[in-house]
Amino acid sequence: MDLHNLIEIKAIVINPKAKLVENILELEKLEQVPTRNGYGEGLVEVGKKNPNVVVLCADLTESTRSEAFRKEFPERFVEMGVAEQNMASVASGMNAMGKIPYISSYAMFSPGRNWEQLRTTVCYNERHVIVGGAHAGVSVGPDGATHQAIEDIAITRVIANMTVVVPCDQHEARKATIVVADLEGPVYLRFAREKTPVFTTFDTPFEVGKAEILFETKGKPDVAIIACGPLVHNAILAAAELEKNGIKVRVINNHTVKPMDEKTIVQAAYDAGAFVTVEEHQINGGMGSAVAEVITRNFPVPIEFIGVQNRFGESGSPNELIKHFGMAPEHIVKAAKKAIRRK
């Protein structure tokens, strides 16, 4: 693992290859943009590059940000109406005819409502269909439990042939949306509704299947924090707080839940000897479960899981809900200390 040529920033060490924003620990100074905006930007860019890209949406064109593609390429956009199951099947057929369909809706409805069509019509036939699931996690806010997808990582990663990617911010969402057009087989991209910190840059590396070490304190880490989605930034804030207490931390952006970067995960288990996983999702079956599967097979260490603890969502403001469900930086700090004590 290449951790040479590291540059110290305040109390934390950043790998220059990560090319993150300089003020990453100053939350009030960071730009705040929904990750779904990156999806809309990426759709336009990939549409310009590849004339076979088409976009389908289930009556949520503005909310999913697929509206930008509709305006740029109206002849390659199809409004399916409130018919997510039909949308998945139509997309499978379009791919069979050489198109690269992106299908857009709230994650509760796609992959939620159309899971069986995705499983049988898309994945079983190995169709290259990209599923853009917006409004995932409890940070959807006042819409409440019925619209807060907190099971979607679990139900997609279990399907054979499916790639699952959870971008951490707007820039990573844009990159992921573009890159997956060149993959093979079905892909699930997970996006949040609420504005979240933009802490990567246009130059930050992104590769499907390759987790990125963003930060670590000097010396051998005491604990590794493995996170995905916008909560990666909370993991970084928690790492800074832990360092103040003399605890050395490695923070990994594990954006690709499937296929997972087992090499980076196992190396972190070997180096740190304790894990905390962080996701805005049920802890059962999600990214943390996938990490546990990897290290159980290779190098078992104590793990603590930050996420939704076997509950449904609730209505409230996004930040209020993140704290209420135990996913704020202070909860990650507490979990890290517990994992270390269990060594």
* 134 and 226 within one domain: no
What is the span of the domain harbouring residue 52?
A: 33-197
pTM attached to this predicted model: 0.95
- Give the residue from 181, 197, 213 where a domain finishes: 197
* 174 and 155 within one domain: yes
Q: What is the pLDDT along the chain (343 residues), one digit of tens a residue?
A: 333 333 344 445 556 667 899 889 999 999 999 999 999 999 999 999 999 999 999 999 999 999 999 999 999 999 999 999 999 999 999 999 999 999 999 999 999 999 999 999 999 999 999 999 999 999 999 999 999 999 999 999 999 999 999 999 999 999 999 999 999 999 999 999 999 999 999 999 999 999 999 988 778 999 999 999 999 999 999 999 999 999 999 999 999 999 999 999 999 999 999 999 999 999 999 999 999 999 999 999 999 999 999 999 999 999 999 999 999 999 999 999 999 999 9
Does some domain include residue 2? no
* 156 and 55 within one domain: yes
Question: At 235, which CATH number?
Answer: 3.40.50.920
Tokens 């059962």, located at residue: 284
* 222 and 144 within one domain: no
* 106 and 224 within one domain: no
Does some domain include residue 99? yes
Spatial distance between the Cα atoms of 307 and 281, rounded to a whole number of angstroms: 6
Of 67, 84, 212, 243, which residue is the catalytic one? 84
Closest Cα to residue 170, out of 212, 204, 207, 211?
204
The conformation of residue 17, written as its DSSP 8-state character, comes to G
- pLDDT of the residue at 15: 61
- Number of structural domains, the chain? 2
* 50 and 132 within one domain: yes
The conformation of residue 42, written as its DSSP 8-state character, comes to H
* 42 and 22 within one domain: no
- Give the residue from 141, 173, 197 where a domain finishes: 197
84 given a catalytic annotation: yes
- pLDDT of the residue at 308: 98
From residue 24, give the alpha-carbon distance in Å to each of 9, 30, 84, 198, 328.
Answer: 10, 7, 38, 9, 16
- pLDDT of the residue at 22: 86
- Give the residue from 148, 178, 197 where a domain finishes: 197
* 92 and 237 within one domain: no
